[in-house]
A and B are shown apart, each in its own frame.
Chain A
Amino acid sequence: MSTTETAAPGVGPVEGTPVYTVENPAPLIEAPRKRTKKTPKSTRGNFELAAWLFMRLSGIVLVVLVIGHLLIQLVLDGGVSKIGFAFVAGRWASPFWQVWDLLMLWLAMLHGANGLRTVINDYAERPNSRLWLKALLYTATVFTILLGTLVIFTFDPNIR
C-alpha cells in the first residue's frame, strides 16, 4: 500500500483546477427558507382549519345558490332576453331573493378570496410579492362585498 500521492489533503483536482482551497473554502449554500432565528416559532392556530372547512361548506351551499341563480337568470322563462331593470327590481322586491343574493355575494366572495389567498401562498415566492398580492386581493374583496351589500339593501326601484 505504498503511495506516491503528493496532493495536499482536502479537495483534490478532480474536475479541472479547484477554485477553493482549505484556506479559501467554498461559500456555504443556505437552504431556501430554512428554519432560522427569524422564522416564527409557532404558526399554529385554528384559522387554517376553519378556512379549509369553510371552503368545503361554502362550496356545497354555492352549488345550490349559483346553479339556482344561473337557471333563473339565463335559462328559465325566456333566458337572458328577459333580464332588464324591471326583472331585477321585481326579484329584489322579495326579501327571499335579497337574502339569496346577499348570501351568494358573501359566500362567493369569501370563498373566491380565500381560494386566491391559497393560490398566492402556493405560487408567490418572495415575501414581498405575497404581501402586495394579498393586500390587493383583500382590498378588492372588501370593496366588492361592501358595495354589493350596499346595493342589495339600498336598491331603489323608483330611481328613474
Chain B
Amino acid sequence: MATPVLDKADAAGQPEPGFADSPYITVTFRVRRFNPEVSAEATWEDFQLEIDPKERVLDGLHKIKWDVDGTLTFRRSCAHGICGSDAMRINGKNRLACKTLIKDINPEKPITIEPIKGLTVLKDLVVDMEPFFQAYRDVMPFLVTKDTNEPTRERLQSAEDRERFDDTTKCILCAACTSSCPVFWNDGQYFGPAAIVNAHRFIFDSRDEAGEQRLEILNDRDGVWRCRTTFNCTDACPRGIEVTKAIQEVKRALITRRY
C-alpha cells in the first residue's frame, strides 16, 4: 500500500500554519487520592497539565493516568455522558467528568476532583456503589403486570401517557443526585433521590400495575418523607431531570391515595 499523503504541513507535531498560538493552557488538577493499601488517610495531590481548555475533565484525568501516574483510579466507560460511570465531585459540585469542559469551571484556579460523597471510597475516585444499587433494586425498577401470559402484542400507550413519566426515563444511574443529598450523606439508609426517580418512572407508567406496591415501599421511615426539598439533587443531575419535582409527585401520590 502506498503511504498516505498528508496535506497537513507535517505529521510530526508541527503546529499548523494559522494555529501558531497554542490553544493549550496550564491547569492544575487537585485530585483526592486514597489507597487503603498504603495509607488509611486520603490526601490531595496536584497535577500540572498542558491541556486545551475545550477538553473535558475526563480528558485531563486520562492524560494523568496515561502519561503521568498510572495508579490514578477512576471509573469511566462511555466517555459520552450515557453510562453514568464517572460522576465525581468537581470543584465541590457533582458532575460527570465526561460532560464537564475545563473552560467552564474556572481553570485559572486548581480544579478539585473528589469521589462522590456518602459512599465508601474504595480507591481514589472509585466508591462502593452497592448501597446505591441496593436502594435502586428495592423499588422494583422493572415492568410488573398481572397477566402471567406472554404478551401477544405490544403494550400500547398514548403519547400523553408516555409523556407523564418521560423526565424520569432519562436517568443513567450515575448517583450524582443521591451523593449530593445531605440526608443521604448522614444516613445511608435513606433510599435517596435516584431510587425515587426510578420508582417514579414506573409508578406513573400507565402500562405498569405495581405502582401501589412501589408507593408502599417508599412510604417508609427512610423513604420519600426523609426528603427535605433541598434541591441538591436537581442541581446535580447531569441529565437535567427535575429530581425534586419527581420526589414531590411521589409524595403527592401517596397523600392523595390515602386522603
Contacts and interface: CB of A to CB of B under 8 A. Distances in A.
Nearest to A53: B255
Interface stretch (B2-10, B52-60, B154-162, B217-225): B217-225
A33 interface: yes
Contacts of B36: 26, 29
Interface stretch (A37-45, A67-75, A80-88): A37-45
B106 interface: no
Nearest to A42: B220
B187 A121 contact: yes
A15 B70 CA distance: 10
B219 A46 contact: yes
Contacts of A16: 38
B153 interface: no
Contacts of B226: 48, 121
Interface string A90-108: 0000000000000000000
Nearest to A11: B37
Contacts of A33: 131, 187-189
B251 A34 contact: no
Contact of B189 (A15, A19, A39): A39
Contacts of A52: 225, 251
Most chain B CB within a 10 A radius of its CB, from A43, A46, A48: A48
Contacts of A49: 219, 225, 254-255, 258
Nearest to B218: A44
B131 A18 contact: no
Contacts of A45: 219-221
Contact of A14 (B70, B182, B187): B70
A83 to B, nearest CB: 37
Contacts of B188: 31-34
A122 interface: yes
Nearest to B132: A31
Contacts of B258: 46, 49
Interface in B201-243: 216-217, 219-223, 225-226, 228
Contact of B71 (A15, A19, A35, A39): A15
A44 B220 contact: yes
Nearest to B216: A44
B122 interface: yes
A31 B217 contact: no
Given A49-B255, A52-B251, A35 B131 contact: yes
Which 8 pairs, one residue from A and one from B, show the smallest C-beta to C-beta distance? A48-B225, A43-B221, A33-B188, A31-B120, A44-B220, A14-B71, A52-B225, A15-B38
Interface of A: 11, 14-16, 18-20, 26, 29-35, 39, 42-49, 51-53, 118, 121-123, 125
